[in-house]
Chain A
């Protein structure tokens, strides 16, 4: 029967010859398209299209932005500019924190290289345990 697998395990595919023709055609088409996108005319055409899009859409975009800004103001909501400003400030804070982190690393390295024992760190759990062990002071008696 026609749809039984052949010896190499592959089923007979009636579209195989068509695929060969298709691939040859695609190769030729691909080369022609690469030549086309490499041309000065293509660069000029796409540049013109993009420029037209940006110019035509600008007034609509500006109108939407203005309307959105007013709406957000009415709703007492932050605008994009406000969010951007906060995000920029957050990045600056992160930079300062990173500077501090660098300085701490330096101090740790200097301490380690000087041969001094590492600083004792106390965890919150250790502090609580210690506090629980100490007897509370009696009030009212002196």
Chain B
């Protein structure tokens, strides 16, 4: 017997749309659901290992550690089931780890890149090596995470780093005209010391405002109109809900690290000029010998390609590749096309180098 057609009047339809809108605006989506275990903590930092789904003989022997930015939650890499980079990599046989920096408190306002790169990261890597019983590993750094992994790769090139993947890495700050952030944090307009004296850490909400203000109409209006236009499409609503959950979950940036980001990098471009010093050690990018994959998002308004390209000529890696892909800063890894383009490329590059 044929089913009777569902008749909805315009009022019921409008009510349903409003219910959906209310739900996605006032609740948090279920995110980061790939099974994992906590294997190490230090202060707010946590190291997770994802539960493998393939037997050991079918897995790649070299583990991969994901390092995301300091001022956002790392679960963007594991946004929702069926649309998760983490889930994809685990299914493809990677022994996968994720470093979650956590949210710094007032007691962490002095934390600098020095601490993250020479205390937290090496300790987490030691635990990873002990857990997986390996000597070599791969690192994937995204955004500020790419700065941290680059610093680590240059300062500790003999610690077993075999492969380095940099996603939208802001490393070169020489093109002042091409970087909106550089203009905003110019010392004539922005007093970083006054800011840190007031707040200690850089508040997450202010960082969020800074990122959104680069494209104000899209972020403050277009984003919500897209949701309104697609309220009757569950796929779009679910994706929007998950992304909104992540976007609104802001994390402060430790004061010391924020000062270095603004003064040493945005204002003085010390890393590319070979003047960046971490606990007395000058960071020499030519010491990087790990296999290198640099991924650039062509429509990235936060980290334009001019910030990521120059590292290719600075490193000593014999095996290196620059991969350009259409998309934005976050979209290349969490957008609808990520599973068709970015993830397979990373897997295709990493798999033969993880044997």
Contact = CB atoms under 8 A, between A and B. Distances in A.
A88 B198 contact: no
A55 B217 CA distance: 30
A102 B190 CA distance: 43
A107 B195 CA distance: 47
Interface stretch (A37-45, A70-78, A125-133): A37-45
B191 interface: yes
Which range contains the number of A residues in contact with the other chain?
35 or more
A47 B189 contact: yes
Interface in B180-205: 180, 183-184, 186, 188-191, 194-195, 198
Given A30-B218, A43-B186, A51-B191, A37 B180 contact: yes
Contacts of B218: 30
Interface stretch (B58-66, B221-229, B292-300, B337-345): B221-229
A54 B195 contact: yes
A94 B229 contact: no
B188 to A, nearest CB: 7
A47 B225 contact: no
A51 B188 CA distance: 11
A44 B180 contact: no
Interface string A75-88: 00000100111011
B2 interface: no
14 contacts: A34-B214, A37-B216, A38-B183, A43-B186, A44-B188, A44-B189, A47-B186, A47-B188, A51-B194, A54-B194, A58-B198, A84-B105, A87-B105, A102-B126
A83 B108 CA distance: 12
A64 interface: no
A8 interface: no
Contact of A54 (B105, B130, B191): B191
A50 interface: yes
B213 A37 contact: yes
A40 to B, nearest CB: 7
Contacts of A33: 215-217
Nearest to A106: B130
A19 interface: yes
A47 B107 contact: no
Contacts of A22: 225
A110 B215 CA distance: 56
Contacts of A101: 127
Contacts of B188: 44, 47
Nearest to A5: B5
A63 to B, nearest CB: 14
A72 to B, nearest CB: 15
A-B pairs with lowest CB-CB distance, top 6: A47-B189, A87-B107, A30-B217, A84-B107, A43-B183, A91-B43
A51 B301 CA distance: 26
Given A37-B213, A102-B126, A47 B221 contact: no
Nearest to B131: A105
Interface string A20-43: 001000100110011001101001
B183 A94 contact: no
Contacts of B229: 19
A55 B183 CA distance: 22
A98 B42 contact: yes
Chain A CB within 10 Å, residue with most, of B10, B180, B195:
B180
Nearest to B179: A38
Given A26-B222, A33-B216, A47 B42 contact: no
